[in-house]
Amino acid sequence: MKLLHSAFACLVAFASMAGAAYADDLLTIQLKDGPVVIKLAPEVAPKHVAQIEALASKGEYDNVVFHRVIDGFMAQTGDVEFGKQGGAKFNPKRAGMGGSEMPDIPAEFSKVPFKRGTVGMARSQSPNSANSQFFIMFDEGAFLNGQYTVVGQVQSGMEFVDKIKRGEGGNGEVSNPDKMIKVTVTKK
C-alpha cells in the first residue's frame, strides 16, 4: 500500500510540474490607446522568450518607441539602447540600430506562420543576431515563415496595435513615434 501511495504522490507531483511548464507566459504592452496582451511561446522559442521576459521584468522596454512601422506589414520596437525615450542614449535617428546589453540569441526558427498579430524577433542579415527588438504583424507575412523567430501571438488589444502611428517611405521610419508606455510579464 505504501508503494502505491508513493507512486500516486509521484504522479501528482509530475502532473503539477508538467502543468507549470505549459503555463501561459503573457506580455502586456500598455500603448496610448490601451493594453495589448501577447501570449508568448516558450515552447517555440525558449531562448528568445526568456530574453524578452528578462528585459521586460527589468523595465527595459518601458518608453521604447515604435521606430519602424509599415502599413499592411508590421510595427517594430524594442531598441532599448537608442529607442528608449528619456534614456541616456535616446536618439531617434539611431533607433532601430541598437539592442540590449544581453547577448544576441541563436535563431529558433519554427513552422509557426507569420499572420496578423504574430510577434517575431527582429534581426540583422545574420539569423543569429536577434537581441531585444521585435515586431507585431498587421497582416500575414508568409515570406517571413522559417526565416524569423516567432515569439508569440497577440491575444487581445490588436485594435490598439492598429492605431500605432505609421511611418513614411519604404523603410517605415516614424517621426514623433508612438511608444510602449509600460511592458510587464505575467505567468498564469
Across the beta sheet with 68-70, what order do the strands follow?
68-70, 74-77, 134-137, 118-121, 150-156, 34-40, 25-31, 182-187
Query: Which amino acid, one-letter code, is at 157?
Result: G
Kindly state the average pLDDT of the residues 32-53.
Answer: 99
Q: Are 31 and 158 in contact (CB under 8 A)?
A: no
* Higher per-residue pLDDT: 164 or 169: 164
* Higher per-residue pLDDT: 5 or 79: 79
Predicted pLDDT at 23: 66
| pLDDT averaged over every residue in the chain | 91
Which CATH architecture best describes the domain 24-187?
A: Beta Barrel (2.40)
Q: Within the chain, what is the greatest distance between any pair of CA atoms?
A: 74
Task: Answer yes or no: is pLDDT of 139 > 50.
Answer: yes
Predicted pLDDT at 188: 81
Task: Answer yes or no: is pLDDT of 28 > 50.
Answer: yes
Predicted pLDDT at 8: 38
Grid cell in block for residue 65: 518607441
Q: Are 144 and 134 in contact (CB under 8 A)?
A: no
Output phi, psi for 19, to 5 deg: -65, -40
Going from N- to C-terminal start, the domains of the chain cover 24-187
Tell me, yes or no, if the pTM score tops 0.85.
yes
Positive/negative CA dihedral, 131, 188, 185, 40: positive
Output phi, psi for 72, to 5 deg: 80, 0
Predicted pLDDT at 5: 42
pLDDT > 70: what percent of the chain?
88
Q: For residue 16, what pLDDT band results from cuts at 50, 70 and 90?
A: very low
Choose the weakest-confidence range: 8-22, 89-103, 136-150: 8-22
Grid cell in block for residue 53: 521576459
Kindly state the average pLDDT of the residues 150-169.
Answer: 97
Q: For residue 7, what pLDDT band results from cuts at 50, 70 and 90?
A: very low
Output phi, psi for 34, to 5 deg: 150, 175
Kindly state the average pLDDT of the residues 52-75.
Answer: 98
What kind and span of H or E run contains 69?
strand 68-70
Q: β-pairing, 134-137 with 179-180?
A: unpaired
